[in-house]
Structure 1
Amino acid sequence: MPEKRWIRCTDVYLLFLISLPCNVADEGWFWHVTDFHYDFSYSDRDLSCSDSVTHHGEYGDYWCDAPWRLIESSVKAMKRFKPDVDFILWTGDSVLHAGSEYLSIDINVGILSNITNLIVQKFGSTPIYATLGNNDFYPDDDFPPTNNELYNRTLKIWETWINGDGEKENFLKGGFYTTVTSHGIRVVALNTNLYYRSNKLTEHITDPADQFTWLENILTNATTNKEKVLITGHVSPGVVDSRGRSPMYEHFNRKINYVIQKYADVIIGLHFGHEHADTFLVYKKSDVPIATMFLAPSVTPWRYKTPTKAGPAHNPAIRLVQYDRLTGRHLNMITYYMDLPASNAQGIPQWAEEYNATRDYNIDDLSPNSMNKLAQRMSTPNSPEFNKYWKWRFASVQNDILESCDEECKTKIVCQISHVDQSTYDACVLKTVDDSTGLISSLVLVLTSALLCVAISS
């Protein structure tokens, strides 16, 4: 009779664990929402509207900042599409575009408080990691590198997620802080308004509010402790301005790019707002992609207008990010948008999925390597990826009002995505133009030679 062999339940359990694939991710999600720009005067004084509005849609107008119905609808859409997220990134600019004579510290703080209460009401105890935008200050843009009333009053509204006396002191000093999520991801919330080109108070200061020193200390400790870091803020580094320049003073842009590249090993992603457009940037070192920065589209549909130029129309949008809780690796991104004309026509908010990044861009994940490959495909002639990007950049406005993007426009965007410093961006644009000019010249020379040969043979 064969000998009986008994297998313990623990052995079966261990065998099951060993057989599991090593790359199974503990998948989590977070929302990124930015640039609400609440216009409390919409349909009355229209303080934010950059052009006259003859018919005030219930959910807003492309020339104006967001009415409350739009802001409330966007948060409700977040709750409907994905209620159970690990946290929410909220990257500033909640105050409308309006002259200082129409605003005050009380009005600005009141707007911040109202939107905070709305998000908390819908998402309960879900942590909200918020940062201030350049329009949130009074008067706008001029964030001082010292304590002020806005920092003091905002801390009272946001102190639930700004944990610890040390971080509260940092916020009171310069509007920045760090905290760790329940899954061990370190969030670094920067006040990059201190580096904004329109901030006249900090232009000649080397390290406003000592934020750079603080940031490097945080990242050095994160390296030692093997933490994964998510960096967020409002005004982004890089050459993302539509005019082909950094929204930061150049010396600040160089400095923050240096820090990001130096500590890229611990940085899992960077998330910013401000540009009211959906785009991304890839950081490289020796031409190897090392980090990715994502700029989320805005809730406000507001478009700027100057005597010589008007900004592009764009629909309101919100963003959902999937990530690996264990490693921080960004797995996917789903962006939702509101069809503003249809919402106004029907009197019901029309929110829908705009695109799923891995599916619709055909990429593996949101890693620097994947996003760099996408950027390379976007740079090719007649790129279907670029055509998708251009439409989604402005949250799928209708084709009849979507601005075209010629070769010069495409060149600037492709160079922005891959070159974060002004000098390398300028060189990229110049080289692309020179290469195109050389190709055209070569074609002209070949054609001229061919015609000459025909003429001689005749």
Structure 2
Amino acid sequence: MSPMLGVFATLLLCSLGSGLPLSAKTPLISLDYNWRNVTCSTCKVFFTALDISLQVESNMDLVASVAVKVCETMHLEEPSVCKQVIQLFKQDVIMAWVFSVLRPSEICGLLLGSDCGHWDIGVEWNITLPPVPKPPVQPPVAPATGSPISRVLFLTDIHWDHDYSPGGPITCKEPLCCRKHQSGGHGSAGFWGEYSKCDLPLHTIESLLSHVARSGPYDRVYWTGDIPAHNIWEQTRAEQLNTLGTVTGLIKKYLGPVPVYPAVGNHESAPVNSFPPPSVHGNLSSSWLYQAMAQEWKEWLSPEALDTLSTTGFYTVKIGSGLRLVSLNMNYCSTDNFWLLINFTDPAGQLQWLVNVLQEAENNHEKVHIIGHIPPGLCLKSWSWNYYRIINR
């Protein structure tokens, strides 16, 4: 779970105990102000009440307003961060819980750990593998001297901060530093960036792309996401789309005709980590993001790939003779994606789709490269296990 989502969950927990600010008589959490110090019993009481009360949408604003006051009083974040992050997250987090199939004990296991409850309800689900015998494993053979060499450029986690400011404080009270209009911090951010709690200015990203372009040529580029900065308390959909378009434009400018194969990162959405399954429609869905990606990346991908990208955020495309690429949307396995509270079982049918893609590739004697933003070992246990079964097959 992301720190910001943890803060939001803590604030909700604190606010619902009596509907009043905390006092010495209501020690819901310790003086360390850490959301993981919320007691298990308090957590279960809260989510039992939440399950009942939040069926009425007007309760969202009440809980959120109290949460802001608690955040400010307990100095969990700067007041501006408290207000903005709760406003940004409230609808998605609360609606994900309202639609959730989890019981209070399970979601408290998710928030506080397995000692408080068993939360991975999808642990027993299984992907159906094709009834085709596994081909004999062939030991790898080194290529002959003089064989063609393929050069692949790998890009990831660019994290462009629109407000990066050379000379800005490298330590600060906010979750992200080295920015304009920050005061009370220490140190001075460098022109090109800073190895601290900071992201990158656009001129550094442009310099990077200019340099790698001169270091080419490349046969293709794998680009595995996280384009926006870590200022997750103040991001909007419009800003995320602007970031997507700007950085995509720079890659096209400097790398020209080289095909680029992107994957969706967890920071692309607003709010961060918000990737509902396709069963969620309307304004809460991720169609605004996936369709924009399909539009920005249409020069690089086939119509079939763009079709699945625009609806689910994953795709496959043949990238050479005997070689296929699969780009997975790893947000469908992420422990930080609170929308998975609705359904843990193969969200968007991605793994079953992967089985079919790999079987067809095997039938056609193709090798496959799989890319994605989050390592499979960091996913939900049930998802990771099924992914292992698929790859091991």
Q: Same fold (TM over 0.5)?
A: yes
- List aligned pairs for 1:271-420, cutoff 5 A: none
SS in 1 for 2:221: strand
Q: Is contact 2:328–2:371 with CA below 8 Å preserved after alignment?
A: yes
Seen in structure 2, the aligned counterparts of structure 1 residues 55 and 124 have a Cα distance that, compared at 3 Å, is same
How much has 1:80 moved relative to structure 2? 2.1
Structure 2 residue identity aligned to 1:126: V
- 1:255 is aligned to 386
SS in 2 for 1:28: coil
1:91 and 2:246 correspond: no
- 1:274 is aligned to none
Instruction: Find 1:172's aligned residue among 310, 323, 344.
Output: 310
Q: Is contact 2:209–2:255 with CA below 8 Å preserved after alignment?
A: no
How much has 1:60 moved relative to structure 2? 0.9
Distance in 1, Cα, partners of 2:203 & 2:144: 46
How much has 1:48 moved relative to structure 2? 5.8
Q: Is contact 1:145–1:209 with CA below 8 Å preserved after alignment?
A: yes
SS in 1 for 2:317: strand
How much has 1:154 moved relative to structure 2? 1.4
How much has 1:75 moved relative to structure 2? 1.0
In terms of Rg, which structure is larger?
Answer: 1
Q: Is contact 1:58–1:69 with CA below 8 Å preserved after alignment?
A: no
1:42 and 2:164 correspond: yes
Structure 2 residue identity aligned to 1:60: G
How much has 1:162 moved relative to structure 2? 2.1
How much has 1:23 moved relative to structure 2? 5.9
| Runs of 4+ residues deviating >3 angstroms | 21-24, 44-48, 50-53
Deviations 1:237-273 (A, max 9, x none): 12xxxxxxx2x111111111221222xxxxxxxxxxx
Instruction: Find 1:162's aligned residue among 301, 312, 321.
Output: 301
SS in 1 for 2:390: helix
Deviations 1:59-92 (A, max 9, x none): 11112011112211211221122x2111000000
Deviations 1:295-320 (A, max 9, x none): xxxxxxxxxxxxxxxxxxxxxxxxxx
Q: Which has the higher strand share?
A: 1
TM-score under structure 2 normalisation?
0.56
- 2:265 is aligned to 133
SS in 2 for 1:135: coil
1:202 and 2:340 correspond: yes
Q: Is contact 1:90–1:129 with CA below 8 Å preserved after alignment?
A: yes
1:72 and 2:206 correspond: yes
Q: Is contact 1:91–1:234 with CA below 8 Å preserved after alignment?
A: yes
Deviations 1:271-307 (A, max 9, x none): xxxxxxxxxxxxxxxxxxxxxxxxxxxxxxxxxxxxx
Distance in 2, Cα, partners of 1:218 & 1:124: 29
Distance in 2, Cα, partners of 1:231 & 1:136: 20
Q: Report the count of equivalent residues.
A: 231
Distance in 2, Cα, partners of 1:31 & 1:126: 10
Distance in 1, Cα, partners of 2:258 & 2:195: 31
Q: Which structure 1 segments of 5+ residues have no match?
A: 1-20, 239-245, 263-458
Q: Is contact 2:291–2:311 with CA below 8 Å preserved after alignment?
A: no
Deviations 1:181-219 (A, max 9, x none): 144420101101111110011243211111111100000
Instruction: Find 2:287's aligned residue among 148, 156, 162.
Output: 148
Distance in 2, Cα, partners of 1:114 & 1:180: 27
Deviations 1:142-201 (A, max 9, x none): 11122521111111101112212x322211221001111144420101101111110011
Distance in 2, Cα, partners of 1:48 & 1:125: 38
How much has 1:50 moved relative to structure 2? 5.3
Distance in 2, Cα, partners of 1:78 & 1:190: 25
Q: Which structure 2 segments of 5+ residues have no match?
A: 1-142, 179-184, 279-285
Distance in 2, Cα, partners of 1:90 & 1:22: 30
SS in 2 for 1:181: strand
TM-score under structure 1 normalisation?
0.48
Distance in 2, Cα, partners of 1:123 & 1:99: 29
Q: Is contact 1:48–1:96 with CA below 8 Å preserved after alignment?
A: no
1:31 and 2:153 correspond: yes
1:189 and 2:327 correspond: yes
Seen in structure 2, the aligned counterparts of structure 1 residues 182 and 225 have a Cα distance that, compared at 3 Å, is closer
